[in-house]
Structure 1
Amino acid sequence: MLTAPVRQLGESERRAVERLLDLDPYASAQVAERVAARGLAWWRAEGRMLGYGSRRQLESICWLGGNLTPVLAGPQAVAAFADLLSGEERLCSSIVGRADAVLQLWDRLASAWGPARDVRPNQPLLAIDALPVVPADPQVRRVRSSEFDLLFPAAVAMYTEEVGVSPLIDDGGRGYRRRVTDMIRSGRAYARFVDGRVVFKAELAVVTRRTAQVQGVWVAPDWRGRGIATAAMAAVIRDALMRVAPTVSLYVNDFNLPARRVYQRCGFRPVGTLATVLF
Structure 2
Amino acid sequence: MLTQTTTRVLGPEDLDAALAVLHQDPVANAFVTSRVHVAGLDPWRLGGEMWGWYQRGHLTSLCYAGANLVPICAVPEAVRAFAERARRAGRRCSSIVGPAESTRLLWSLLEPYWGPAREVRACQPLMTTDQPSEVPPDPLVRRVRRDEVETLMPACVAMFTEEVGISPLAGDGGLLYQARVAELVNAGRSFARIDDGKVVFKAEIGAATPEACQIQGVWVAPEFRGQGLAAPGMAAVLAYALRDIAPVASLYVNDFNTAARATYRRVGFQETGTFTSVLF
TM-score if structure 1 supplies the norm length? Answer: 0.97
Cα separation, 2, equivalents of 1:114 and 1:106: 9
Query: What is aligned with 2:225?
Result: 224
The answer to whether the Cα contact below 8 Å between 2:5 and 2:56 also exists between their aligned partners in 1 is no
SS in 2 for 1:77: helix
Query: What is aligned with 2:108?
Result: 107
Task: Show the 5 A alignment for 1:187-266.
Answer: 187-266=188-267
Amino acid at match of 1:277: V
Query: What is aligned with 1:8?
Result: 9
Cα separation, 2, equivalents of 1:205 and 1:116: 25
TM-score if structure 2 supplies the norm length? Answer: 0.97
| Structure 1 portions without partners, runs of 5+ | none
SS in 2 for 1:176: helix
Cα separation, 2, equivalents of 1:127 and 1:158: 22
Query: What is aligned with 2:275?
Result: 274
CA shift digits 1:34-55 (9 cap, x unpaired): 1111111234322111111147
Query: What is aligned with 2:18?
Result: 17
1:121 matches 2:122: yes
Cα separation, 1, equivalents of 2:43 and 2:146: 33
| Structure 2 portions without partners, runs of 5+ | none
SS in 2 for 1:254: coil
Cα separation, 1, equivalents of 2:13 and 2:195: 51
Cα separation, 2, equivalents of 1:5 and 1:53: 5
CA shift digits 1:145-186 (9 cap, x unpaired): 111121100000000000000000010011111111111111
* Aligned Cα root-mean-square deviation (Å): 1.1
Query: What is aligned with 1:89?
Result: 90
Aligned length: 277
Once the two structures are TM-superposed, the CA of residue 94 in structure 1 deviates from its matched residue by 0.4
Cα separation, 1, equivalents of 2:57 and 2:13: 12
1:67 matches 2:68: yes
Query: What is aligned with 2:133?
Result: 132
Cα separation, 2, equivalents of 1:55 and 1:142: 48
SS in 1 for 2:216: strand
Once the two structures are TM-superposed, the CA of residue 233 in structure 1 deviates from its matched residue by 0.3
Once the two structures are TM-superposed, the CA of residue 247 in structure 1 deviates from its matched residue by 1.0
Cα separation, 2, equivalents of 1:186 and 1:44: 18
